[in-house]
Structure 1
Amino acid sequence: MSMAGSKRSQAYFKYLLSLLFFGSNGVVASRISLNSYEIVFFRTLLGSVFLIAVFLFSKGKLQGFQNKKHLMFLSISGVAMGVSWMLLFEAYTKIGVSMATLVYYCGPVIVMALSPLIFHERLGMGRIMGFGIVLAGMLLINGEALQQNEFSWGLLYGILSAVMYAFMVIFNKKAKSITGLENAMLQLIVSFVTLSVFMVAKQGFPMASLSQNLFPVLFLGIVNTGIGCYLYFSSIEKLPAGTIAIFGYLEPLSAVVFAVAFLQERLSAVQILGGIFIIGGAVIGELSSLKGSR
């Protein structure tokens, strides 16, 4: 195997491993007896510390402060990411990891739908069809749940987390001069600050309860977030855009598989079909977007 082929294989391995780490978030979080914003607080704290250490070790140089406008966009993206994660982890507890993850992954489709207005991208027939398929999937997966009042709040949290995901992606794309590891590090630091302010205002720091949840908190913060982000951002620069877009849906698929295997969650046949529609529609939209950009 050539040197270039070896590096490409390593990038594939890093990228797929990072997606599996992200996909296991719900299972790891289920082992933590803290509320959603406490979990995200520790996740962003440990992840930020890890990425700062990697950035310093690799002798990286901060470039983001040279463009104040892009730094502002990235800060908004960081706030949106922190809020999105908090809502998603709350949805985990209300409607389960499987359903919350599938609802959350409507976020990329929201970005796709808004891209003509925000990024002046053409919304072709393939993207419109993909968007319609995702909406049909949302109706299928949530139709049964909407008939049960106890699920309504969880669905709302899931939908709001998807909306905040869209905000995160949109403003991150606007911060064009801040890329790679520096982008991930600064965004995670802003998310940590956001959660810190929220938590101090609500209850103060939860240090007393951390000792009972130490291992899963460390795993979620260092492995799933810190190492996961490092693997993700160190690999995507070496992979084709099409690979990143399509293989990225391994994350929600693995999240559902992990939830079924480790949490004994079950989806009805209609909800499984809805999940296939959501992911399939998103993939169709991504493929259409990639073909249109050539």
Structure 2
Amino acid sequence: MYLNSNYIKYIAALLLFGSNGIVASYIALSSNEIVLLRTLTGSLFLLLIFLCLHEEVHIRRYPQDFLYIVISGIAMGISWMFLFEAYTRVGVGIASLAYYCGPVIVMLVSPIIFREKIHISIVLGFISVLLGMICVNSPFISNGGLSFGLFCGIMSAVMYAVMLIFNKKATKIQGLENSLFQLSTSFVAVAVFTLITQGVAISIPAESILPLIILGVVNTGVGCYLYFSSIGGLPVQTVAICGYLEPLSAVVLSAIVLGECLSGIQEIGAVLIIGGAAFGELFRSRKLIREHNAEG
């Protein structure tokens, strides 16, 4: 029963994350303003949960790990600003597919950064994702090269990879505490950027208030809580493979709700991206588990 509840929470979190672009499409604000308010409300919600659960604070004991979380949080804030800008310029589905090239970048550089062994599955997965990105973005490339929207999608993936790498280095601070400080750091980073570029005044249209609350409290706060409270009780391979339900749900929901239909070549690209990334992650996880068991 406990394991089943973890599956349910994890899948619910992924579906919430996958609907981020849908909810954001109803918010009449700039991308950095949306991310600013999202990280603010999400951080406050996670802080409330953290205090209610009387969680232990580890940041004073592990300052280096806290530094990694700060860097990871800054990268996450930047990544989200690029992602939400890509949503408006190239659509939710395509932006989400570009964003989820981030884990593949991490797999590719892990042999250098984390001294993991390179595996043929990672190389094949990367090639599949690369071909998929070319297919998905072929209409934009053929119509004038690299658009700003496509650039934002690529940069969201790069910063997502930076976020994952530094978060992975923070081995002593995990779970809800990790999520709380990372999200709070993202808020500070985005707040500084917004303050420099446009000042403190943000005018929120009345019709955008409800979707902002949903995005911040439900999609971000509740989503992060469900995610981090479930992954510890699930097999590594399950977390790795089921994680790609998020971009898949984003593509499906964008088609159903927003009418963003992919062309035939783009659908093939979506399959190559999600399939290639999941394939590389699955076999990488299996190799790491076998190597860990052999060493033990």
> What's the TM-score once normalised by structure 1's chain length?
0.96
**Counterpart in the other structure of 1:253:** 248
In structure 2, C-alpha distance between the alignment counterparts of 1:255 and 1:60, rounded to whole Å: 33
**Counterpart in the other structure of 2:16:** 21
**Which letter maps to 1:135?**
L
Of 132-141 and 19-28, deviating more is: 132-141
Q: CA deviation at 1:180?
A: 0.4
Of 246, 271, 283, the residue aligned with 2:278 is 283
**Which letter maps to 1:195?**
V
Of 263, 269, 273, the residue aligned with 2:268 is 273
Q: CA deviation at 1:210?
A: 5.0
CA contact under 8 A between 2:22 and 2:257: conserved in structure 1?
yes
Q: CA deviation at 1:147?
A: 1.6
In structure 1, C-alpha distance between the alignment counterparts of 2:177 and 2:116, rounded to whole Å: 27
In structure 2, C-alpha distance between the alignment counterparts of 1:204 and 1:220, rounded to whole Å: 23
Of 127, 141, 149, the residue aligned with 1:132 is 127
Q: CA deviation at 1:150?
A: 8.6
**Counterpart in the other structure of 2:36:** 41
CA contact under 8 A between 1:95 and 1:151: conserved in structure 2?
no
Q: Cα gap change, 1:206/1:10 in structure 2, threshold over 3 Å: closer, same or farther?
A: farther
In structure 1, C-alpha distance between the alignment counterparts of 2:177 and 2:75, rounded to whole Å: 18
Q: What is the count of residue pairs matched by the alignment?
A: 289
In structure 2, C-alpha distance between the alignment counterparts of 1:195 and 1:167, rounded to whole Å: 16
**Counterpart in the other structure of 2:105:** 110
In structure 2, C-alpha distance between the alignment counterparts of 1:22 and 1:163, rounded to whole Å: 19
Of 55, 72, 77, the residue aligned with 1:77 is 72
Of 210-219 and 233-242, deviating more is: 210-219
**Counterpart in the other structure of 2:226:** 231
Structure 2 unaligned spans of 5+ = 291-296
Q: Cα gap change, 1:206/1:149 in structure 2, threshold over 3 Å: closer, same or farther?
A: farther
CA contact under 8 A between 1:38 and 1:206: conserved in structure 2?
no
Of 188, 192, 195, the residue aligned with 1:197 is 192
2:90 matches 1:95 = yes
CA-based RMSD of the aligned residues comes to: 1.1
Q: CA deviation at 1:151?
A: 6.6
Secondary structure (helix, strand or coil) at the match of 1:66 reads coil
Q: CA deviation at 1:126?
A: 1.3
CA contact under 8 A between 1:46 and 1:226: conserved in structure 2?
yes
**Counterpart in the other structure of 1:264:** 259
Q: CA deviation at 1:224?
A: 0.1
2:208 matches 1:213 = yes
Of 137, 146, 154, the residue aligned with 2:141 is 146
Secondary structure (helix, strand or coil) at the match of 2:248 reads helix
**Counterpart in the other structure of 2:115:** 120
In structure 1, C-alpha distance between the alignment counterparts of 2:110 and 2:220, rounded to whole Å: 28
**Which letter maps to 1:260?**
A
Structure 1 unaligned spans of 5+ = 1-5
In structure 2, C-alpha distance between the alignment counterparts of 1:126 and 1:41, rounded to whole Å: 38
Q: CA deviation at 1:65?
A: 2.3
In structure 2, C-alpha distance between the alignment counterparts of 1:67 and 1:10, rounded to whole Å: 31
**Counterpart in the other structure of 2:3:** 8
CA contact under 8 A between 1:77 and 1:172: conserved in structure 2?
yes
In structure 1, C-alpha distance between the alignment counterparts of 2:32 and 2:185, rounded to whole Å: 15
Secondary structure (helix, strand or coil) at the match of 1:208 reads coil
2:187 matches 1:164 = no
In structure 1, C-alpha distance between the alignment counterparts of 2:230 and 2:99, rounded to whole Å: 24
Q: Cα gap change, 1:231/1:149 in structure 2, threshold over 3 Å: closer, same or farther?
A: same
In structure 1, C-alpha distance between the alignment counterparts of 2:285 and 2:203, rounded to whole Å: 49
**Which letter maps to 2:130?**
L
Deviations 1:255-278 (A, max 9, x none): 011100100011110011001000
